[in-house]
Each structure stands twice: as structure tokens, then as C-alpha cells.
Structure 1
Amino acid sequence: MKAFGMALATAVVLAIGASVILEGTLGRTADETFAAPSVRLSEENTVQHRNFTGH
């Protein structure tokens, strides 16, 4: 039972640590991630501006 408790605690600590690390390094939008310095993104090319409902 003691080994199970330690394994559970370790899994929780690893999950929280991975969440913090991934949100800090991989939590960027596609516009920020894939835009090179020479790329010009205008408002109509952003996800927020597009209308995906079809109207």
C-alpha cells in the first residue's frame, strides 16, 4: 500500500510538472509559432477574424 501511495504521488507531481512546462513553452498560438520574421500577418489571415460558420 505504501508503494502504491508513492507511485500515485509521483504520478501527480510529474503530471503537474509536465503541465507547467508544456504550457510555458508550447502554449503559443499558430500565428506566433509558425510566423517567421519576414511573414506579414494581416487581420484577415488570423483565426479570430475568419468566419467558420459559413454565413
Structure 2
Amino acid sequence: MKMFLAALVFATVVAVGTAMFLGGIQQPVSSAFTTSGARVGDPGNNLMVPG
């Protein structure tokens, strides 16, 4: 039972840490793809979720 609880705590810590890490490096699509070949306009004028 102790190993199961330890695995549960470990999985929770890894999941929360990964979510925080990925949330910190994530960029909105309007700023991530700003090359001349990508036609991404103002987020209010297309189907992206405003963010």
C-alpha cells in the first residue's frame, strides 16, 4: 500500500511539474508563427481562442 501511495504522489508531482513547465514556455499561435509565409492575423479576426 505504501508503494502505491508513493507512486500516486510521484505521478501527481510529475504531472503538476510538467504542466507548469509547459505552461511557462507556451506561446500563442499569433506570436509563435510570425514569418512572412504564415498568414496569422489578429486573434480577434479568426478562429483562435483569444488569449
TM-score by length of 1: 0.66
* Percent of matched pairs sharing the same residue: 28
Work out the number of aligned pairs and report it: 43
Structure of larger gyration radius: 1
Runs (4+) off by over 2 Å? none
TM-score by length of 2: 0.70
Unaligned regions of 5+ residues in structure 1, if any? Answer: 40-44
Unaligned regions of 5+ residues in structure 2, if any? Answer: none
- Two-structure CA RMSD over aligned residues (Å): 1.7
Map of 1:34 onto structure 2:
33
More contact order relative to length (CA 8 Å, sep ≥ 6): 2
